[in-house]
A and B are shown apart, each in its own frame.
Chain A
Amino acid sequence: MEKEQDYSKDIAEIRSMMERSSKFLSLSGWAGIMAGMYALAGAGIAYTVFNFNPDAIDYSAIDPGSATSALPKVMLTGLLVLILALVTAIVLSRKKAEQWGENIWNATSRRLLASMAVPLAAGGLFILIIISKGLLGLIAPLTLLFYGLALYNASKFTIDEVKFLGMVQIGLGLAATWFIEYGLLLWAIGFGVVHIVYGMYMYFRYER
C-alpha cells in the first residue's frame, strides 16, 4: 500500500507544476529597485538639465519653443532608462531562475511578455502620435496609464502583487492627466518610487 507521505508528495508536486507552468516567478525584486533608481535619475535629468516639465496639455498653440526643443533629448533619456531597466531585469531574473534550476525563456515567460507587449505597443504608438500633434503634457500620464494596463494584464501570469502595482500606475496616470502640471513629478513617483517600494517588498517577501 502506498504511504500517506507519497500522497502528500503527489499533491505538492501537482501544486508546484500548476504554479510553475502558469506563473512566471523569477522576477527579481532588485530589478524593480534598480528600475526605480534609473527612472528617478531620468526624471531628474529631464527636469534639471533639460528643463522639461510641461504644465499644459497642448504645446502646438502656446509657446512652441521651450518644451519642444528639449523633447528629443528627453525622449532619448526615456529610451535609455527603459533599456537599462530591461537589461537589468533580464540579467537579474535570469540569475534568479538559474538558482531555481529553471529557464528564463519558457512558455510562461513568453506569455507574460506577450500580454504586456500589446498594451505597451499600443500605448507607445499612441504617445508617438500625440507627440507629433504637440500634446506634450500627456506623455507622462499616458506612459503611466498604458504601463499600468500592461501590468494589470500580465499579472495573471506572475505573482498577484503585480495586479496591485498595475492599478497604482493606472491611478497615478489618471491623476497626472487631471493635474497636468504635476505630470513629471507623478511620473517620477510611479516609475521611480513605486518601483523601488515594490522591489523592496518583493525582496523581503520572497527572496530573503
Chain B
Amino acid sequence: MKVSIDDLHKAFGSRVRLGIMSALAVNDKLDFTSLKEYLDVTDGNLASHIKALEKEAFIGVEKSFVDRKPNTKYFMTKVGKKAFDDHLNALEILIKSNR
C-alpha cells in the first residue's frame, strides 16, 4: 500500500482538531466545556476548530436544554470515524516507512 503525505487529511493538520477527534473517538458524546477542559484552549479557538470539523461532517452537534440552559454536545460521525481511522493508519505507515 502506497501512502503519501496527501493521505494525511488536512482537517487533522492542527493539534487541536486532532485532539477533538481523539477525545470523541473514545467518548460517545462530549459537551463544549468538557472538550475545553481536556484541550486547554480558549472558547474562540475551540469554537473555530469545531466549526471546521463540522464543515467536513466529521463531527455532529446535538443541542438540548439542561435546566433551561442550552447544552451542546458533540459526537463523531461515521464519516469522521472513517477519516480518523484512515489518518491513524497513514501515520503508522509513514512512521514505519521512514524508519
Of chain B, the residue at the smallest CB distance from A20 is B38
B43 lies within 8 A of chain A by Cβ: no
A11 close to B95 (CB less than 8 A): yes
Contact of B91 among A1, A10, A106 (CB under 8 A): A10
B22 close to A4 (CB less than 8 A): no
B18 close to A107 (CB less than 8 A): no
Measured between C-beta atoms, what is the minimum distance from B38 to chain A in Å? 5
B91 close to A21 (CB less than 8 A): no
A57 lies within 8 A of chain B by Cβ: no
Chain B 13-41 near chain A by CB (<8 Å), digits 1 or 0: 00100110011011100110010011100
With A4-B98, A7-B95, A14-B88 known as contacts, the answer to whether A107 contacts B19 (CB < 8 A) is: no
A13 lies within 8 A of chain B by Cβ: yes
Of chain A, the residue at the smallest CB distance from B38 is A21
Measured between C-beta atoms, what is the minimum distance from B44 to chain A in Å? 20
Task: Report the separation of the CA atoms of residues A47 and B88 in the bound assembly, to the nearest whole angstrom.
Answer: 58
A63 lies within 8 A of chain B by Cβ: no
B66 lies within 8 A of chain A by Cβ: no
B34 close to A22 (CB less than 8 A): no
B11 lies within 8 A of chain A by Cβ: no
B38 surroundings in chain A (CB, below 8 A) = 17, 20-21, 106-107
A21 surroundings in chain B (CB, below 8 A) = 22-23, 26-27, 30, 34, 38
B19 close to A13 (CB less than 8 A): yes
A11 close to B15 (CB less than 8 A): no
Measured between C-beta atoms, what is the minimum distance from B92 to chain A in Å? 8
Interface residues of B in 79-99 (CB under 8 A from A): 88, 91-92, 94-95, 98-99
A2 surroundings in chain B (CB, below 8 A) = 5, 8
A103 close to B95 (CB less than 8 A): no
Of chain B, the residue at the smallest CB distance from A4 is B98
Please name 5 pairs of A and B residues whose Cβ atoms are closer than 8 Å in the assembled complex, sorted by A. Answer: A7-B94, A7-B95, A13-B19, A20-B38, A107-B34
Interface residues of B (CB under 8 A from A): 5, 8, 15, 18-19, 22-23, 25-27, 30-31, 34, 37-39, 88, 91-92, 94-95, 98-99
